[in-house]
A and B are shown apart, each in its own frame.
Chain A
Amino acid sequence: MTEDTPSAELLVILRHAPHGSSWLKEGLDVALVAAAFDRRVTLLFMGEGVTALLEGQQAGPLGQKGTAATLEMLEMYDVDSLVVEKRSLDALGLSGDQLMLPTREVTEAGIAALVASHALVLNF
């Protein structure tokens, strides 16, 4: 192996908002399962996916459980590498202090580096 050791094993990219589809929930499920099996996981929130991190979320009126409770469990699973795309926050008029968990903001170049430094990338 000539490549650098990956900084983490699994990068899960989340691009969908809660409630409207099951993309976010099913993407987070992969992250939690991987973490439960002691894999090092990074979560990248992009596009509308950043809205998953907004404070004060509730269950959906159609019976959706929502994902805030799952996100709150991440720390228990030792998933502490949460990354958000700065441009997505800007586009939605949001800032990092409105988010429920500590995150690191990245630019497009930062995203390329993230993808390159993980052994496996799953895109939801």
Chain B
Amino acid sequence: MRYAILLLDAPYTSQAAHSALRFTRALLARGHDVEGVFFYHEGVHNAARLAAPPQDEPHLVDAWAELGRGHDVALQVCIAAALRRGLLDEQEASRHGKQGFSVEPPFELTGLGQLVDLGLRCDRLITFGP
């Protein structure tokens, strides 16, 4: 089946991000297609490239990035929700006159239209939230 994931909570705040990640891995292990993970609401914090959790804890941002690179899962971050919360890629950072940037590939900033497309295109969209 073709799956899409919608993640609505930040990493290390609730179980949502851990569950979403484990569910996505389980889908891939079963041979399903995961076309994309969409990060919205507080979920955009999962794309924070500067996240530095203690070494003995799961690194959720790196784990998503690995799924994005290794399994061709699109990692789409709502641009409006992200910018508001300080999550900017290099291009947006420069456009807003900011020195650093906090989002990098394979995460991509994109619009909410992509969420609707993803949800309607796939057989199942599974939401994880607080």
Which of A's residues lie within 8 Å of B, judged by CB?
Answer: 9-10, 22-23, 26, 29-30, 33-34, 36-37, 39, 119-120, 122-124
Stretch of B16-24, B95-103, B107-115 that contacts chain A: B107-115
Question: Is the Cβ of B81 less than 8 Å from the Cβ of A37?
Answer: no
Q: A26-B81, A30-B112, A119-B120 are in contact. List 11 more A-B contacts (CB 8 A).
A: A10-B116, A10-B120, A22-B41, A23-B41, A34-B113, A34-B116, A36-B113, A37-B113, A120-B120, A122-B6, A122-B127
Number of A-B contacts (CB under 8 A): 40
Residues on the B chain within 8 Å of A122, using CB: 6, 115, 119, 125, 127
Question: Is the Cβ of B80 less than 8 Å from the Cβ of A29?
Answer: yes
Give the docked Cα–Cα distance between A118 and B78 (Å): 23
Interface class of chain B by DSSP: helix
**How far, in Å, is A48 (CB) from chain B's closest CB?**
16
Which of B's residues lie within 8 Å of A, judged by CB?
Answer: 6, 40-41, 80-81, 111-113, 115-116, 119-120, 125, 127, 129
Residues on the A chain within 8 Å of B127, using CB: 122-123
**How far, in Å, is A105 (CB) from chain B's closest CB?**
26
Residues on the A chain within 8 Å of B6, using CB: 122
Question: Is the Cβ of B112 less than 8 Å from the Cβ of A29?
Answer: yes
Residues on the A chain within 8 Å of B113, using CB: 33-34, 36-37
**How far, in Å, is A49 (CB) from chain B's closest CB?**
15
A33 contacts which of B41, B111, B119, B129 (Cβ < 8 Å)? B111
B80, B112, B113 interface centre (most CB from chain A within 10 Å): B112
A37 contacts which of B41, B80, B116, B129 (Cβ < 8 Å)? B116
Give the docked Cα–Cα distance between A29 and B116 (Å): 11
**How far, in Å, is A17 (CB) from chain B's closest CB?**
16
